[in-house]
């Protein structure tokens, strides 16, 4: 058993430089279409997933995405340095290793989402509730490219009306919203609770800032399935099941 753990640790240590290279390649691949749009348009505003974004918004959004990916990579490197098996990576990507007469495999998941794949036969219908949908434009564009249907709702009232008329496979909501001119810092929590009161069991993800994650237990108790601050987790949430 100790031999296997040592072999895994050596394997992870060898893969760490490759992870950094893969990260750099991913960043170039991820933002190449965006850069092309900016260069071709020559404008200070572009349209992503139906949302008009300023260059400042695009820059901020990309900065958050890169920070998220860097944090995931840092965790991978920390796990390698500590010879830990606690590494999260894309499902199904395996590396075989052989030691003595024993064979085995270890699952390696890189700390960022895989490139958009071809749309699956059964796409998911997603209800995304956010009073500032432009913040999620890149994720929405990705999901649509994968064949999913994404409906944007800007308020709790509108979202509940939609849920009363149609069924969704996933629900994503921010935590705080301004609705009818009123600041509702716990709108996402109240929305999740109301969805459960309607006997709707659709998975709900609260996607917000650090404040949302600090309230994770309260939000889950109210009806949320999961809480995150990471766009990577949003992708995993949609891809699951």
Helix (H), strand (E) at residue 183: strand 182-184
Q: Is the pLDDT of residue 121 over 50?
A: no
Compute CA 15 distance to the chain's CA centroid, rounded to the nearest angstrom: 24
Question: pLDDT: is 87 or 150 the higher one?
Answer: 150
pLDDT of residue 68: 57
Residue 130 and residue 152 in contact, taking contact as beta carbons nearer than 8 Å = yes
Question: pLDDT: is 93 or 222 the higher one?
Answer: 222
* Positions of E strands within 32-132: 45-48, 51-54, 94-99, 102-107, 125-129
Q: In what order do the strands lie in the sheet with 149-153?
A: 149-153, 125-129, 170-173, 204-207, 226-228
Distances (CA, A) of 99 to 6, 11, 33, 55, 78: 10, 12, 44, 53, 24
Domains and CATH numbers, the chain: 2-107 (no CATH), 125-239 (3.40.50.2300)
pLDDT of residue 155: 97
End-to-end CA distance of the chain: 33
User: Among 166, 193, 240, 120, which Cα is nearest to 151's?
Assistant: 166
Structure tokens belonging to residue 39: 């260069």
pLDDT of residue 93: 36
Averaged pLDDT for residues 49-61: 53
Distances (CA, A) of 103 to 4, 7, 83, 90: 9, 11, 20, 22
Structure tokens belonging to residue 43: 């404008």
Non-local (6+) Cβ contacts of 32 within 8 A are none
Question: pLDDT: is 69 or 173 the higher one?
Answer: 173
150 C-beta neighbours (distance < 10 Å), count: 23
pLDDT of residue 220: 98
The answer to whether the Cα torsion of 161, 164, 166, 168 is positive or negative is: positive
DSSP state of 151: E
Q: Is the pLDDT of residue 105 over 90?
A: no
pTM: 0.58
């Amino acid at each position: 058993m100790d031999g296997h753990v040592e072999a895994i640790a050596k394997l992870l240590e060898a893969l760490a430089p490759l992870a950094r290279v893969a990260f750099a390649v991913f960043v170039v691949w991820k933002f190449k279409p965006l850069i092309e749009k900016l260069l071709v348009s020559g404008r200070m505003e572009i349209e992503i997933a139906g949302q008009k974004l300023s260059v400042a918004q695009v820059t901020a959004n990309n900065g958050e995405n890169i920070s998220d990916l860097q944090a995931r990579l840092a965790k991978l490197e920390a796990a390698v340095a500590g010879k830990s098996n606690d590494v999260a990576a894309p499902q199904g990507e395996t590396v075989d290793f052989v030691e003595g007469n024993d064979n085995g495999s270890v699952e390696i998941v890189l700390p960022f989402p895989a490139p958009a794949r071809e749309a699956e036969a059964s796409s998911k219908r997603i209800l995304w509730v956010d009073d500032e949908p432009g913040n999620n434009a890149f994720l929405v564009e990705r999901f649509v490219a994968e064949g999913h249907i994404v409906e944007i709702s800007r308020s709790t009232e509108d979202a509940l009306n939609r849920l009363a008329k149609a069924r969704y496979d996933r629900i994503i909501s921010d935590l705080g919203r301004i609705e009818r001119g009123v600041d509702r810092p716990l709108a996402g929590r109240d929305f999740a609770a109301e969805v459960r009161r309607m006997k709707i069991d659709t998975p709900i993800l609260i996607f917000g800032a650090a404040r949302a994650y600090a309230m994770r237990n309260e939000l889950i108790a109210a009806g949320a399935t999961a809480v995150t601050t990471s766009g990577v987790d949003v992708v995993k949430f949609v891809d699951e099941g």
